[in-house]
Structure 1
């Protein structure tokens, strides 16, 4: 798998540089450790290695998983001599224990030909895209400043007398904070050519400390020059609360372990059409925003029954 730089986490780290918690950043796809179960990795089925549904799955006090919902191969448009692929992924971030939470997540997907040397797929559009905020909060802060001078008397039998004179200045201000979702199209591992990567960052509201959204569905439109098979190397990094980072089960599930197999794609496979029926001759016309989205939490309104 291609190595992905950790520089994308700089912004996330800056969001928490003033946090009193000594949080740790964990990459859920590192090298293997010795704990029981740590050798688990998500592999491609040897009998059907292409376009697996279960992309990755890490379960414990905090769950992180990704599922491939739809893969559609076709053309950019009926008049264009250019191939295209739409990939829809669903990410889930869940807490199974009280007061446990995921503070931030960074997701990177990098596309490349299955055989080195071939033309690379171009990441043309993604959704969600750009910087967005959700669940915005406002609070009032009061800051008091003390100013003054100290008046002292000459020492008398080794004792210095003094008095404090001064005044207080109080300033009230309103501050806003929000959960952030940032999506971008990137160029990784090279400095020229078309974009080959898509990335998303989720950052919790640092005021309410309610964690990142529980679900994010992303959509990617790729442009391809040929019908050759290609791959996706992916990386998910999570910043968690201190208790979770110290827990043995989290270290076993999210600590040192082998990388998951990359996702493999075959343009000869038929469209999945699980979310909707796509026009494979005009994939550029598909509204990616309509099939993507972010959910902070799901409320089960029919939980109370009257008998």
Structure 2
């Protein structure tokens, strides 16, 4: 991330003037600063589109298997034990946009009422994928179990009431906690076909009051239909859990439409790559894990703990 990054402010405020949203300039493609709205507060999440490459899935394929690779960066700033994110969910939904640049069948289908969603990009891979843990801690939890037996000398203790005796058993269990990141494909606004969204969830180490990881770099590989060179959109939604009060206020603001939505990022497969690090005609060979990084931001033994997946 840059030394002076663009700040996406998510902390709650009651100011009526907080109405700014990130918008596309006329005909802007692949906007760098991707999400956020202008709200004053200490907690901030930054979002940027780092790299985009459009090309082919594999060189040994049928020659018409288009796909796109997008790398995003996010950072959560301003956290401390008394003011932090408990959880942050980042959802990136991809959708086809218009019929220009698509095969004639797409235009005919649209005219016949066929839904444009058939041309939505498909999430073919992402990183991080699954569960990733860092800043792991363990603690011992102990508990006692008590029960009473009523007994009377010379009688059956199970049948006769009498004096009370208490027996205790104790055990201890090693319990763990960690800061975590989870990445998964998702279906959003559809119930068939292939996943059209990537979802990343950041969770804190609750026992350490750590807040969520400070930096997250993700990579998403998208498949497009043969012959598809049309525009598609990425709608990025960031939701955060801070406290019961702040979360409830945020929910009400969303329901009432008080939270302005950012413009979706417009992707154009005809735009040249932003980097030459990836093989344009064989994007399936890219190790998505090498492009992914997670950083806790917590200093451990004088160094910041980081994890690359």
Q: What TM-score comes out, normalization by structure 2 length?
A: 0.73
What value does the CA root-mean-square deviation take over the aligned residues?
Answer: 3.2
The structural deviation recorded for 1:278 is 1.7
Aligned to 1:37: 17
| Separation in structure 2 between the aligned mates of residue 61 and residue 164 of structure 1, nearest angstrom | 58
| Separation in structure 1 between the aligned mates of residue 230 and residue 249 of structure 2, nearest angstrom | 44
Mapping for residues 270-281 of structure 1, pairs under 5 Å? 270-273=272-275, 277-281=277-281
| Separation in structure 2 between the aligned mates of residue 29 and residue 231 of structure 1, nearest angstrom | 26
Mapping for residues 53-202 of structure 1, pairs under 5 Å? 53-57=32-36, 60-80=41-61, 81-95=64-78, 99-115=82-98, 117=116, 119-148=119-148, 165-202=165-202
Aligned to 2:107: none
The structural deviation recorded for 1:198 is 0.9
Aligned to 1:49: 28
Aligned to 1:228: 230
The 8 Å contact of residues 72 and 87 in structure 1, kept in 2 or not, is answered as: yes
Higher mean C-alpha displacement, 231-240 vs 170-179: 170-179
Higher RCO structure (Cα 8 Å, ≥6 apart)? 1
The 8 Å contact of residues 40 and 257 in structure 1, kept in 2 or not, is answered as: no
The 8 Å contact of residues 67 and 90 in structure 1, kept in 2 or not, is answered as: yes
| Separation in structure 2 between the aligned mates of residue 264 and residue 36 of structure 1, nearest angstrom | 29
The 8 Å contact of residues 101 and 240 in structure 1, kept in 2 or not, is answered as: yes
Structure 1, unaligned stretches of length 5 or more?
Answer: 1-27, 152-162, 303-307
SS of match in other structure, 2:208: coil
The structural deviation recorded for 1:166 is 2.2
The structural deviation recorded for 1:138 is 0.9
| Separation in structure 2 between the aligned mates of residue 209 and residue 114 of structure 1, nearest angstrom | 42
| Separation in structure 2 between the aligned mates of residue 76 and residue 113 of structure 1, nearest angstrom | 18
| Separation in structure 2 between the aligned mates of residue 294 and residue 256 of structure 1, nearest angstrom | 32
| Separation in structure 1 between the aligned mates of residue 214 and residue 246 of structure 2, nearest angstrom | 17
The 8 Å contact of residues 29 and 260 in structure 1, kept in 2 or not, is answered as: no
Q: What TM-score comes out, normalization by structure 1 length?
A: 0.74
Higher mean C-alpha displacement, 135-144 vs 211-220: 135-144
The 8 Å contact of residues 79 and 85 in structure 2, kept in 1 or not, is answered as: no
